[in-house]
Amino acid sequence: MAIDKDSAVQNAQKDLARRLNIDAADVKQKSVEDSDFPDMALGAAEDGEMSGQMITRGWRIKLEAQGKTYEYRADKNQVRAFNFKGKNHRV
């Protein structure tokens, strides 16, 4: 089922709360922007993952928690944590 922008943001907030072991209410939405990503893994491939090299339209989601900014990337197919503690993760 296709993911829309709102559900992508919600999924990202829940994922960040889980990773930081904090309450989801403590994760604030900083910005959500339409963005073109370089590939179909949204420029956030996990280890061992290959993706189609097609420019992909999606959303760049910036969240704030514990005084830090975290980036998520999403499109209609997926949500990914970008460079979270040096690694990318598919949510």
User: Minimum Å distance from CB 88 to another protein?
Assistant: 10
| Residue ranges in contact with another protein by CB under 8 A | 38-41, 43, 45, 47-56, 77-78
Closest CA to 85 of 67, 62, 60, 68: 68
Rg (CA), the chain: 12
Residue 89, Cα to own-chain centre: how many angstroms? 8
Query: Nearer to another protein by C-beta: 24 or 55?
Result: 55
Query: Nearer to another protein by C-beta: 65 or 74?
Result: 74
Q: How far apart are CA 41 and CA 27, in angstroms?
A: 24
Query: Nearer to another protein by C-beta: 65 or 82?
Result: 82
User: Minimum Å distance from CB 1 to another protein?
Assistant: 10
